[in-house]
Structure 1
Amino acid sequence: MDTAEAIVALLVVLVIAVSLLSNVLVLICFLYNPEIRRQVPGLFTLNLTFCNLLLTVSNMPLTLVGLVNKGQPGGEGFCRVVGFLDTFLTTNSMLSMAALSIDRWIAVVFPLSYHSKMRHRDAAIALGYTWAHSMSFSTAAACFSWTGYHHLYASCTLCNARGNSSRTQFVVFTVLFHCLTFLVSLVVLCVTYLKVLKVARFHCKRIEVITMQTLVLLVDIHPSVRQQCLEEQRRRRQRATRKISTFIGTFVLCFAPYVITRIVELFPAVPVNPHWGLLSKCLAYSKAACDPFAYSLLRNQYRKTCADIVNRMLKRSSLNASGPRMENERNHGAQMTE
């Protein structure tokens, strides 16, 4: 193993650790807080967390084994099953992010009719489509024996194990798969979140106008208070832009290099550096570690839930520690009275 492969292996280990801890924490918050469970976006978040966790415990460790041993982990049939999971889980997670963006678009653009437009039944139908879409492509790949060990990515994933006999069909399938999954999800993310950003900026401008009119009327207001109000308006605008940039930016940064590499490798005349193939696969895996922070853990509701869980655990441990001490003090007092 050369230096570049060792660095990629360390990155995979880091991604596994962060993804496992963060997604488990999101799942704990979901199970602990009934308010999160009642919200419609919680279903999309739960589905995304489930996909990320399963990808973390199944595909990522096997990629690490393939990278270290420079060979296929397990037998041919086992690797095909893992390749099926890789295709299914990656597709499902992409579509779950698109569903979350649609939910945010409805909530921001149609706030008064959100509860009638996006109910739990509607969310279940959307999730049903994501599962059907993911299952159809992954099942087709498995039926045509287009899953197996790919040396370029050191993982069990989509690959043309049948050779030149089905090359044309595999090329058509790969292009169609990435267009209907990655490209469609990216378009949905960009359209919905840019509309959300437009509405957010409009509301910020309205609030800013009202604030400025109020500040003009309050002639006796201290300049520091006036400056603080204006600074808060500026932070609100930046916060909305930063959130949208995070959603779209992490999606493109993590998935685009891998998808582009998968398309480029379809042309034998264009060589692909093996180190770049490993790095692009590691970037795709890193999305499972980014999602809990982008969609859940940085939100106030999840942060308060985490703080509540920690406080309850500390309080319980302190009570358990004080119990024996109080018992000893009672016994000591009884002995003194005797």
Structure 2
Amino acid sequence: MNLLEIFLELLIVVIAVVSLVANLLVLVCFTCSAQVRAQVPGIFIMNLSFCNILITVLNMPSTLFGVVKRQKPFGDHFCQTVSFMDTFLTTNTMLSMAALSIDRWIAVVFPLTYSSKMRLKNAALMVSYAWLHSLAFSLAAVLLSWVDYSPAYASCTVHLGDDDGSRGHFIVFTTVFHACTFALSLFILCFTYLKVLLVARFHCKRIDVITVQTLMLLVDIHPSVKQRCLLEQKKRRRRATKKICIFIGSFVLCFAPYVITRLTELTPSVKIDRYWGIISKCLVYSKAASDPFVYSLLRQQYKKALFELFNRILGRDSYTLSGHSSPSDMENECCSQRVNKLKENCH
């Protein structure tokens, strides 16, 4: 066993531990917080975290076994089940991310009709479609006997045997599968989030103009406070761009290498290097570990839910974070309140 294999084994273990803990925290927040449950995106995040947990407890250990033992884990039936779940869960997670981007697009671009367009019933229908879409491709791969252990990825996944004469059909299936999952989800993410970014920048420009005009009227506050308010406006624009880059960039970084590799191996003359195959699979697994931080745990509602949960476990009384605000934070808050009041008066 060389150092690279040891590194890959440790990498899978670390990804699995982080993914399991982080996604369980998301489910705990959803269970304990009525505010999180009341929000429509919580349905998509719940489905995404559930799929990530199943990937962690089923697929990651089997890949770890394949890396260590270099053989099929626990027999044919178990490997076929893991292969089915691999296709089903990976497809479901991609479509869940696409559903989240559609939700954000409607919320930002059509804010007045968001409550009527994105009800809990509509969110449940979108999740149901994701399940049916994933189930269709997974069952097709099982019925066509294209599920087995792949040495190139050390995983039980969609795989065509060397003596299988249906290579043409397998090429068509693989191409359509990735076009309807990865390519479709990536298109939806790019379209919706770029629309969100354009609308957000347009509103930021309007807010900046109003903020500058109103701050010029606020002669009774310190100039440093005015400067901080203007800097905060610039930070908001950067945060919007940064978040969208993270949403799209993490999706491409984690899934694109694996999808491109799977499409490349359809050429008979191409043989995938084992280490690269495992690394590309680890990138897919890393998405399960990063999703809780990208979509939920770093948001204020989830932080508040975790904070209240920890206080409940420790037997402490809940208290708000505002009680620990610094003087500068209070000045910024007062500045924001004044600006908002002036905006309301202008309208």
Could you tell me the TM-score, scaled by structure 1's length?
A: 0.91
Find the counterpart in structure 1 of residue 307 from structure 2: 307
What is the distance in 1 between the residues matched to 2:135 and 2:94?
A: 13
- Matching of residue 9 in structure 1 with residue 9 in structure 2: yes
Q: In the alignment, residue 311 of structure 1 is paired with which amino acid?
A: N
* 2:114 is the alignment partner of 1:140: no
The one-letter code matched in structure 2 to 1:260 is I
Answer yes or no: is the 8 Å Cα contact 1:101–1:192 preserved in 2: yes
RMSD: 1.3
Is residue 92 of structure 2 the alignment partner of residue 92 of structure 1?
yes
Ranges in structure 2 where 5+ consecutive residues have no aligned partner: 318-347
Equivalent residue number for residue 182 of structure 1: 182
Q: 1:220: Cα distance to partner? A: 5.5
The residue that corresponds to 1:285 in the other structure is 285
Output aligned runs, 1:268-279, within 5 Å: 268-279=268-279
Q: Partner residue of 1:229?
A: 229
Give, in whole Å, the separation in 1 of the partners of 2:267 and 2:163: 14
Q: In the alignment, which residue of structure 2 is the partner of 1:63? A: 63
Q: Which amino acid aligns with 1:73?
A: P
Q: Which residue of 1 aligns with 2:73?
A: 73
Task: Name the CA distance, whole Å, in 2 between partners of 1:274 and 1:73.
Answer: 17
Mapped partners of 1:208, 1:38: distance in 2: 32
- Tell me, yes or no, if the aligned pair for 2:59 and 2:82 is still in contact at 8 Å: yes
Q: Please name the residue that 1:193 is paired with.
A: 193
Runs of 4+ more than 4 Å apart: none
Q: Percent identity?
A: 60
Contact 1:12–1:64 (Cα < 8 Å) also in 2:
yes
| Structure ID, larger Rg | 1
Contact preservation (8 Å) 2:141, 2:158: yes
The aligned counterpart of 1:320 is: none
Residue 35 of structure 1 corresponds to which residue in structure 2?
Answer: 35
Residues 35 and 301 of structure 2 are in contact (CA less than 8 Å); yes or no, is this contact kept in structure 1?
no
Deviation at 1:8, TM superposition (A): 1.1
Please give the alpha-carbon distance, in whole angstroms, between the structure 2 residues aligned to 1:262 and 1:139: 19
Residue correspondences, number? 317
Contact kept? 1:204, 1:237, Cα under 8 Å:
yes
Q: Distance in 2 between matches of 1:269 and 1:162?
A: 13
2:159 corresponds in structure 1 to 159
Structure 1 residue 217 corresponds to structure 2 residue 217:
yes
* Whole-angstrom CA distance in 2 between matches of 1:294 and 1:304: 16
Q: Which runs of 5+ in 1 are unaligned?
A: 318-338
Tell me the TM-score normalized by structure 2: 0.89
Q: Is the 8 A contact 2:27 2:46 kept in 1?
A: yes
Query: Are the aligned partners of 1:141 and 1:147 in contact in 2 as well (CA < 8 Å)?
Result: yes
